[in-house]
């Protein structure tokens, strides 16, 4: 065998070794999600623990559920109802989507600035105040349905308020490595508009919600999920 032939053989062997090493590395990444997770991050909580915490405290990982997630459920004014009706709780709570929508708590409300969530809507709108969204938990029905009072201020004088009925549940799904897992969903069952700056008293009973009279209505309204 000539020197040239020997050199070509050695190069082919080296290329084969590199290809095998790459395939082995790729199999490890796809096959073992833990190998590409940050080793300093805490292990994910069990779905049952996430579900229990959300139902009992309306929190996730010890923090109030981000108002940006609730904002996803509130329809635009021209819409018949919510376009987004469910979000996966834990990935949503940790999502970078809400990094610039900093959460804060004030006077019983959990709030955030929503300009960063819909930047294209505000590029040419020189508003004095940044658009804000907030919610407060007003009660829980006997079937576990959470009742939230929300407000949405677009930067002007209007403060648009709704009651949002939410339920938490688990369902089977597949992760990005195509492995089955149980995810915790937060679902919007209904979004009921109560008016601009409505200060009505809202009572949550075991099977119904009563919205009292206010500047937006003369009589109380009884809401039931049937």
Maximum mean pLDDT: which of 32-36, 160-164, 174-178: 160-164
- At residue 101, the pLDDT reads 85
Residue scoring higher pLDDT (156 or 222): 222
Domain assignment present for residue 214? The answer is no
Q: What is the pLDDT of residues 127-151, one digit of tens each?
A: 556 789 999 999 999 999 999 999 9
pLDDT number for residue 99:
83
Average pLDDT over the chain, rounded to whole?
Answer: 82
Q: Return the higher-pLDDT residue of 75 and 60.
A: 60
Per-residue confidence (pLDDT) for residue 32, from 0 to 100: 42
Tokens 């937060």 found at: 186
Residues 29 and 54 in one domain: no
Can you tell me the distance from the alpha carbon of 169 to that of 86, in angstroms, rounded to the nearest whole number?
Answer: 10
Residue 220: inside a domain: no
pLDDT score at 54: 97
With respect to residue 160, please indicate whether it lies within any of the assigned structural domains: yes
> Residue 12 domain-assigned?
yes
Q: Which residue has the tokens 């940006």?
A: 68
Beta strands 202-204 and 109-113, pairing class? unpaired
3 and 49 co-located in one domain: no
Residue 87: domain span: 42-199
HEC string of the chain equals: CCHHHHHHHHHHHHHHHHHHHHHHHHHHHHHCHHHHCCCCCCCCCCHHHHHHHHHHHCEECCEECCHHHHHCCCCCCCCCCCCCCEEEHHHHHHCHHHCCCCEEEECCEEEEECCCCCHHHCCCCCCCCCCEEEEEEEEECCCCCEEEEEEEECCCCCCEEEEEEEEEEEEEEECCCCCEEEEEEEEEEEEEEEEECCCCCEEECCCCEEECCECCECCCEEECCC
Q: Has residue 17 been placed in a domain?
A: yes
Domains held by the chain: number: 2
Supply the pTM of this predicted model. 0.76
Kindly state whether residues 32 and 65 are assigned to the same domain: no
* Number of Cα atoms under 13 Å in the Cβ half of residue 1: 8
Average pLDDT over residues 121-129: 54
Under the banding of pLDDT at 50, 70 and 90, the label for residue 82 is confident
Per-residue confidence (pLDDT) for residue 25, from 0 to 100: 41
Which range has highest mean pLDDT (71-75, 173-177, 201-205)? Answer: 201-205
Q: Do 162 and 63 reside in the same domain of the chain?
A: yes
């Amino acid at each position: 065998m000539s020197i040239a032939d020997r050199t070509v053989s050695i190069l082919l062997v080296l290329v084969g070794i590199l290809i095998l090493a790459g395939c082995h590395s790729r199999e490890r990444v796809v096959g073992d999600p833990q190998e590409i997770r940050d080793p300093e991050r805490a292990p994910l909580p069990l779905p049952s623990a996430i579900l229990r915490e959300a139902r009992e405290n309306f929190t996730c990982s010890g923090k109030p559920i981000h108002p940006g997630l609730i904002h996803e459920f509130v329809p635009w004014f021209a819409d018949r109802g919510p376009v987004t009706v469910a979000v996966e709780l834990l990935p949503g709570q940790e999502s970078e989507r809400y990094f610039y929508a900093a959460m804060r708590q004030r006077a019983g409300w959990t709030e955030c600035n929503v300009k960063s969530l819909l930047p294209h809507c505000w590029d040419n709108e020189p508003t004095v105040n940044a658009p804000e969204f907030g919610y407060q938990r007003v009660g829980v029905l006997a079937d576990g349905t959470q009742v939230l009072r929300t407000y949405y201020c677009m930067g002007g004088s209007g403060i648009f308020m709704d009651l949002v009925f939410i339920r938490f549940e688990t369902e089977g799904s597949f992760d990005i490595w195509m492995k089955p897992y149980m995810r915790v969903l937060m679902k919007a069952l209904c979004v009921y508009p109560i008016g601009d700056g409505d200060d009505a008293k809202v009572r949550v009973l075991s099977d119904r919600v009563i919205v009292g009279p206010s500047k937006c209505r003369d009589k109380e309204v009884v809401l039931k999920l049937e």
